[in-house]
Amino acid sequence: MPSYKAPLRDMRFVLEQVADLERLRALPGCEEVTTELVDPIMEEAAKLCEEVLLPLNRSGDEEGCHYENGVVRTPAGFRDAYRMLREGGWPALHCDPEYGGQGLPRTVSLLFEEMMCSANLSFGMYPGLSHGAYTALHAFGSEALKALYLPRLVSGEWTGTMCLTEPHCGTDLGLIRTKAVPEGDGSYRITGSKIFISAGEHDLAENIVHLVLAKLPDAPPGVKGISLFLVPKFLPDGQGQPGARNGVSCASIEHKMGIKASATCAMNFDEATGWLVGAPHKGLRAMFAMMNEERLAVGIQGLGLAEISYQNAAAYAKDRLQGRALGGTRYPEKPADPIIVHPDVRRMLLTMRASIEGCRALGLLTALEQDVATRSTDPATRQEAEDYVALLTPVVKALFTDLGSEAANLGMQVLGGHGYIREWGMEQYVRDARIAQIYEGTNGIQALDLVGRKLPAHAGRYLRRFFHPVLDYIESRGEDEAMAEFILPLSKAFGRLQQCTAEVARRGFADPFEAGAAATDYLRLFGLTALGHVWARMAEASLRGLEGGDADFHKAKLATARFFFARILPQTGALSAAILAGGETLRAMEDAAF
C-alpha cells in the first residue's frame, strides 16, 4: 500500500524562494498571505489528503463507480470523504468571498490541488470539475445565475461539470450538434448527447450543475455558433433547493484504463431546461476563459502523481536489498546492498525529482501570474500577467503531464516486477497519469496552441513576457562564478529556443503545416528551457541556503539541480535538431499509405 507525505518543506521553499510573495501581497485581498498564514492551512490540507483521501485511492480503483438505471454510485468511502472535504471548507479555498469563498490566491490553493492529485486523483476530479464550472459561471453568468448557483458550488453542496465533447467531436467543437431552443421566458430547451463528462452523475452532492455547449437555432456554422448554457440536474425551487428533476440523464459510464473512481459519463439532454451563460454564440470564449485555470490544474495532476510515485519508489529503493554496489559493497552489514546504490536506479529517481521540483516551481510561478492577472488593479500589469499565462498554459499542461507519465513509469520501473502487480499500487499511477495527456485538449493540441496561436499573437508579445525575464536573468548572473555551472547550460538551451522560435515562426508563417510539424518538439524544448530557468533560480536560492540551518535540504536541491543541467537539459539539442529538420518528412507519405 503506497504511503504519502505532503512535501510541505519543498512547497514552502518554492513559495518563499521562487514565487514572489511580495508581489502577491501587493494584490487586493492577498495582503495577509504570509508563510505564517499558509503553513497551518497546508498542514491541515496534508492531513486530509494523507489520512482521508489516500486510503481510498486503491480501493476506489479496485471498486470503480457503479451504474444502474441512470444512477451512479461512487466507491465505498467517497461520500464520507466528500462530506469531510465540504465541512472543512476546502472547495471554497480560492473562491470569491462574495459567494462564500475564502479568497486565497491560486498560488496557495494550487499546493492543495497537488496534494489531492497525489493522494487520490479520481476523488479530486469531483471538486476539480466543480471549480471549472464555478470559474466559467463567475466570469460570464448573469447576476441572477451567480447569486443562485455560485454559493452552492463554493460550499460544495452542489457540484459542476463541463459538457463539451460529443461522440463525433472533441477537439473540433465546431461540429457539435446539441441544440438550444429559446422558450421565450429567458430559458432554453437543450437537446443532445455529450460524452466523456467527468462527474456528470454521482452520489456525492445534492445537485449537479452542467455547463453545456450547444447551438442556438440561428447559430452561424462552426465554432462561432456555439453558446454556453447552465443546465441543473434538479431545477432549483423557490427557496433555491433542488426541486423538479430536469431533462438530463446519465446513459452510461465509461470503463477506462484508470481514474476508475471518477465517473466518466455519457449524458443525454432531452429538452432539458437551461439558461444562457454569457452572450449568444460566444460560448467558446467562456470556455477559454476557464481553460487557463483548468489546464494548469491538469498539469498539476501530472505533478501530483509523479510526486507520490517518487516517494514510494525512493522508499522501495532504500529498502530493497539486491546485489552489491558496482564499485564494491556499500552496506556490508546487510546480505545485499539496497538498490539505491545502483547508478541506474539513482538516474531514474533523480529524473523524477528533477521533473517534480522543477514543475512545482514553474506551476507556482504560473499560478502567481494568474493571480496578478485576475487581481491587479493596474491594467498594464494585468495585461503582462495575462500574456505570460496565455503563453505558459499549453506548456504547463503538456509538459507536466508528459513528465508526469514518464515519472510514474520510472517509479514503477524502480520496483521491477513488483511495480507491475496491483498490490503495490505503482501501476495505478501509470494508468491514472495517462489521461492527463489526453483530456482538457490533448498534448498535441497544446503544442499547436503554443506554435499556432501563442507564438504569433500580437507580433510575439506573449513570447517576450517569457524571453525577456530569462534573458535578463542569464545576463545578470553572467559574472557570478558560483552560478556558472547552471547559467552556461541554461544559456545554451535558451539559445536553441531562440533559434528554433525564429525558425518555427518564419516557416510557420509561410506554411502552417511547418509550424504543426515542429509543435510537439518545440513545446518540449520550450518547457525544458523554462524548467532550466526555475532550476537555476532554485539552485541560486539553495547556494545561499547552504549556510543556513537546513543545509541537507539545500544540498539535495543542488544535487538535483546539477543532475538536471548535466543529464536532462541536453535533450534540447536533439529537440532543436528535430525541429530544424522541418516538416518535409512528415508530409511526404501519402495519406493512404499509412
Q: Which of residues 324-383 bind its own copies (CB under 8 A)?
A: 325-327, 335-336, 338, 340-350, 353
User: Is 440 an annotated catalytic residue?
Assistant: yes
Q: Which of 157, 187, 513, 543 binds its own copies (CB under 8 A)?
A: 513
Q: Would you say 168 or 468 has its CB closer to its own copies? A: 168
With binding defined as CB under 8 A, does residue 314 bind its own copies? yes
Q: Of all helices (H) and strands (E), which one includes residue 180?
A: strand 179-182
Only one of the segments 50-58, 167-175, 230-238, 373-381 lies at the binding site for its own copies (rule: CB under 8 A); that segment is: 167-175
Query: Per CB under 8 A, which of residues 250..289 are in contact with its own copies?
Result: 254-258, 264
Give the separation between CA 136 and CA 407, rounded to whole angstroms.
32
CB atoms within 10 A of CB 179: 17
Q: Which of 69, 239, 377, 585 binds its own copies (CB under 8 A)?
A: 585
Q: Would you say 59 or 476 has its CB closer to its own copies? A: 59
Cα-based torsion angle of the residue sequence 433, 350, 339, 302 in order, rounded to the nearest 10 degrees: -10
Q: Would you say 279 or 581 has its CB closer to its own copies? A: 581
User: Which residue's C-alpha cell is 465540504?
Assistant: 86
Grid coordinates standing for 555?
A: 544540498
Only one of the segments 19-27, 130-138, 387-395, 428-436 lies at the binding site for its own copies (rule: CB under 8 A); that segment is: 428-436
With binding defined as CB under 8 A, does residue 177 bind its own copies? no
Q: Which of 443, 501, 529, 542 binds its own copies (CB under 8 A)?
A: 443
35 near 15, Cβ under 8 Å? yes
**Catalytic residue (choose from 201, 307, 427, 440):** 440
Which is it for strands 264-277 and 248-253: parallel, antiparallel or unpaired? antiparallel
Question: What sections of 280-342 are H helices per DSSP?
Answer: 283-319
With binding defined as CB under 8 A, does residue 453 bind its own copies? no
Query: Per CB under 8 A, which of residues 44..103 are in contact with its own copies?
Result: none
With binding defined as CB under 8 A, does residue 549 bind its own copies? no
Q: Which of 160, 274, 419, 527 binds its own copies (CB under 8 A)?
A: 419
Closest approach of Cβ 34 to its own copies, in Å?
29
405 near 434, Cβ under 8 Å? yes
565 near 486, Cβ under 8 Å? yes
Only one of the segments 8-16, 64-72, 430-438, 469-477 lies at the binding site for its own copies (rule: CB under 8 A); that segment is: 430-438
Instruction: Name the packing angle between helices 512-545 and 461-476 (round to 10°).
Output: 30
Which is it for strands 158-163 and 242-245: parallel, antiparallel or unpaired? unpaired
Query: Per CB under 8 A, which of residues 4..33 are in contact with its own copies?
Result: none
| Interface mask toward its own copies for 561-580; x: CB under 8 A | -xx--xxx-xxxxxx-xx--
Q: Which of 66, 245, 334, 422 binds its own copies (CB under 8 A)?
A: 422
Give the separation between CA 560 and CA 354, rounded to whole angstroms.
6
Residue 55's nearest CA partner among 486, 355, 425, 573 is 425
Give the separation between CA 108 and CA 110, rounded to whole angstroms.
5
Show which residues are catalytic.
440
